[in-house]
Amino acid sequence: MLCNVGNVNFSGRPEILQSIAYATEGKNRVIGSPGHEATVKWIQDHLDTSYYDVSLQGVELSIGVNATLTANNKTIEAFATTLAPNGNATGSLVAIPNLGCEEADFAESLDGKIALIKRGTCSYGVKVQLAAAKGASAVIAYNNGEGTLEGYSLQVFSDPAMPFVPTIGITQGQGEALLAQLENGVSVSVALTSEAKLYTTYNVIAETKGGDHDNVIHVSGHSDSVTAGPGINDNGSGTISLLEVAIQLTNFTVVNAVRFSWWTAEEAGLLGAEYYVKQLSQAEKEKIRLLLDFDMMASPNFAYQIYDGDGSAYNLTGPAGSAEAEHEFAAYFDSIGLNHTEIEFDGRSDYGPFLEAGIAAGGIAGGAEGIKTQEEFEMFGGGAGLNREAWIEFSRAIAHMTANVQRIVVSCELKEEMNKIDGDEGSSAGCRRGGEKNEDGPSAEELDWDEAPEGMVKRAHIC
């Protein structure tokens, strides 16, 4: 069965992704690297083109490749920043207060000067745009924690109305040393170079040939890693889980079309998913009845986390349909006796651009950089290495939702059908994009799925 993903060809694939990464100089699968190119090809090669229409969507990015920096003739190690332009700059260094996320942080003119700004709170693209608007010729970003800013990104696409300037990254210690000099009244003269190359990276998209293409269930995860390693958990685990579900789905018939997407450039700021959503017409957006995104399924210190689509835990409610997705995941975990908890629906992964477009979304995750509470440790345990048992359970949950998410679509379709019978065709807007949620409409749990009206979209025949 599709739901029994743990019993099929799951093992061996993490090792394949690691070997893909380790075959490259950087030992990673970051965008612009041979490792990511090979990952995209590996995904594409495993998709059955007799069952799926498979395509690659190119996303052109400026990827940082090299940077240099001297301050008062002292060389400092620096890293180029993705999405920042090529360029050279010399001038006096100026420290920007309060993280540089507000226009008020840039009180003075920066004409011909170079801005020193700490990482944090907002995307670095916002900081650079604000500095450039004040006349800065370049920006030096410094970290707010351990490690370098190798592979760092401005995280937002450029806007001709608010252009970027050359931007390079340094460590927290290096940045704080420069800041201390400025605070002690020392004038710091800076020279820097930033080198970037234009590069086309790819989303992989596979849609079932069968099923209703006006009612699409969209299942996704990102295919790239950070520069620091091969990214087997983040997000090789999601990549592999999606691929396994896509492979198993070919044994079944679907009623509603299922679209799988492996996004590029998530680690650079959700850029692949954002580009995809921006290319959609309003009509195409309305055909996506639910987006399910899966990022980090094999955390060794895992928790079974469900995105808080109904806002009950974090007071951030998703578009209509998001609550039903959360409830379906919760019901599934309850049915197999697994503890679960909620995670903030804050748009930090590739579902974010879909939320902004008003598209219902949901998903599960195993945990990110936060520290597990004592209560969560008691609920889920934890340890070192990939947790394959948790990963298998996450993958089964993905398969379950891919098979049974038709319920959410049916709830909207049934509401619309009932409205037509009542002569009120306009009150079901909450089921589609751009309307208010219908609090009085039937929920997924209230419907008898085996008794949906003739002609309605019914559960897919896959689980």
pLDDT band, very low/low/confident/very high, at 436 (cuts 50, 70, 90): very low
The answer, yes or no, to whether residue 4 has pLDDT greater than 70, is no
Q: What is the average pLDDT across 227-233?
A: 92
Q: Please, is 108 exposed, middle or buried when counting C-beta atoms within 10 Å of its C-beta (0-12, 13-18, 19+)?
A: exposed
Give the CATH H-level superfamily of domain 5-51+209-408.
Answer: Zn peptidases (3.40.630.10)
Residue 289, C-beta contacts closer than 8 angstroms, at least 6 positions apart = 215, 216, 217, 256, 321, 360, 408, 409, 412
- For 69-84, write each residue's pLDDT tens digit: 999 999 999 999 999 9
Q: What is the mean pLDDT of residues 178-197?
A: 98
Instruction: Judge whether residue 390 has pLDDT over 80.
Output: yes
Task: State yes or no: pLDDT of 58 exceeds 50.
Answer: yes
Q: Which pLDDT value is given to residue 456?
A: 26
The pLDDT of residue 75 is 98
For residues 233-264, one letter each, b for 16 or more C-beta atoms within 10 angstroms of the residue's C-beta and e for the rest, the string is: bbbbbbbbbbbbbbbbbeebebbbbbbbbbbb
Domain boundaries, the chain: 5-51+209-408, 63-197
Residues 220-235: what's their mean pLDDT? 95
Look at residue 443 and tell me whether its pLDDT is greater than 70. no
Question: Residue 368's pLDDT band (boundaries 50, 70, 90)?
Answer: low
Task: Out of 9-18, 88-97, 200-209, 374-383, pick the least confident.
Answer: 374-383
| Predicted pLDDT of residue 433 | 35
Q: What is the model's pLDDT at position 407? A: 56
Question: In the prediction, which pLDDT does 452 show?
Answer: 30
Confidence of residue 300 (pLDDT cuts 50, 70, 90): confident
Least confident among 109-113, 234-238, 278-282, 411-415: 411-415
Q: What pLDDT is attached to residue 298?
A: 87
Task: Supply the Cα-derived Rg of the chain in whole angstroms.
Answer: 24
Write out pLDDT tens, residues 303-320.
Answer: 899 999 999 999 999 999
Contacts of 451 (CB under 8 A, 6+ apart): none
What confidence score (pLDDT) does residue 409 get?
A: 55
Mean pLDDT for 230-244 is: 94
Q: What is the pLDDT of residue 373?
A: 54
Distance CA 109, CA 134 (A): 5
Stretch 431-457: mean pLDDT: 32
Instruction: Tell me the average pLDDT of the chain.
Output: 86
What class has domain 63-197? alpha beta
How far from the centroid of its chain's Cα atoms is residue 150's Cα?
Answer: 20
Q: How many CB atoms are closer than 10 A to CB 344?
A: 13
How much is the average pLDDT of 250-262?
95
Residue 411 has pLDDT above 70, yes or no: no
Give the end-to-end CA distance of the chain in Å, rounded to a whole number. 6
Which pLDDT belongs to residue 323? 96
Look up the pTM and report it.
0.84
pLDDT at 263: 99
Selected catalytic residue, list 266, 274, 326, 413: 266
As a whole number of angstroms, the longest Cα–Cα distance in the chain is 79
pLDDT in tens, 340-362: 999 999 999 999 999 999 999 99
Residue 130 has what pLDDT?
Answer: 98
Residue of higher predicted confidence among 414 and 175: 175
- Please answer whether residues 415 and 408 qualify as being in contact, where contact means their C-beta atoms are separated by less than 8 angstroms: no
Determine whether 266 is an active site residue: yes
Neighbouring-strand partners of residue 220: 261, 293
Q: Residue 107 has what pLDDT?
A: 83
Q: What is the pLDDT of residue 462?
A: 32
Q: What type of residue is 253?
A: T
* Residue 97 pLDDT exceeds 60: yes
Mean pLDDT confidence for 18-39 = 97
Percent of the chain topping pLDDT 90: 76
Q: Kindly tell me if the per-residue pLDDT of 416 is higher than 80.
A: no
pLDDT for res 283: 98
383 or 145: which leads in pLDDT: 145
Higher-confidence residue of 451 and 334: namely: 334
